[in-house]
Amino acid sequence: MSRNPLNTETHKFCPRCQTVKLRTEFYPNKTTHDKLQGRCKVCNIEEVRQYHKAKPERHAAYNRDWDRRNPNKKKDAALKGRLGLPAGTYDAMFAAQGGKCAICQTTEAGGKSTRLHVDHCGDTSTVRGLLCSCCNTGIGQLKHSETLLVAAIHYLKNFPGLPEG
């Protein structure tokens, strides 16, 4: 009795590269009988690259339109790439902070930004909280140093400035 060399429970054939691969090497597709794309991930990515290369203006227009319609998803993707934050983390932090800067409690982002800044340790990329532009810039200019922040507080207490009037 001969067995079929292709175990369809664990493997699938890619017609583009003519290779039998693990099912995990195919993107999911709910509309197909086996719930997987017809081509493997590598071939699928290559085909998409070729399409984008052949029609760059159409691809650029699509991306601009998608960015305009999905500003939060675009920002989530940027935070994922830069700080490794999963999608939705910003929204959860924003809700936990009541939509306010963690330092001055303003609801205004300030500067060019429409959202509060994700403050993080530059050395470890550990996220601390959300800050308005002024507070984020302020602690950044003081090199995120507690010593410098305490020195600044001491300075403000001892040299309050000219009296108003």
Domain membership of residue 33 as a residue range: 8-69
Q: What pLDDT digit, counting tens, does each position of 116-138 carry?
A: 999 998 888 889 999 999 999 99
Q: In terms of pTM, does the model score above 0.75?
A: no
Q: Is the pLDDT of residue 112 over 90?
A: no
Task: Indicate the burial class of 138 (C-beta count within 10 angstroms; 0-12, 13-18, 19 or more).
Answer: middle
Q: How large is the average pLDDT for residues 57-63?
A: 93
Instruction: Confirm whether 165 is domain-assigned.
Output: no
Tell me how far CA of residue 71 lies from CA of 11, 16, 60, 113, 140, in angstroms.
38, 35, 16, 12, 26
Query: Which pLDDT band, with edges at 50, 70 and 90, does 2 fall under?
Result: very low
We report the CATH number of the domain holding residue 107 as 3.40.1800.10
Distance CA 134, CA 132 (A): 6
Give backbone dihedrals phi and psi of 93, rounded to 5 degrees, phi first.
-65, -40
- Where residue 52 sits, what CATH number does that domain have? 3.30.60
pLDDT tens readout for residues 87-108: 999 999 999 999 999 999 999 9
Average pLDDT, the chain: 90
The residue out of 16, 44, 69 marking a domain boundary is: 69
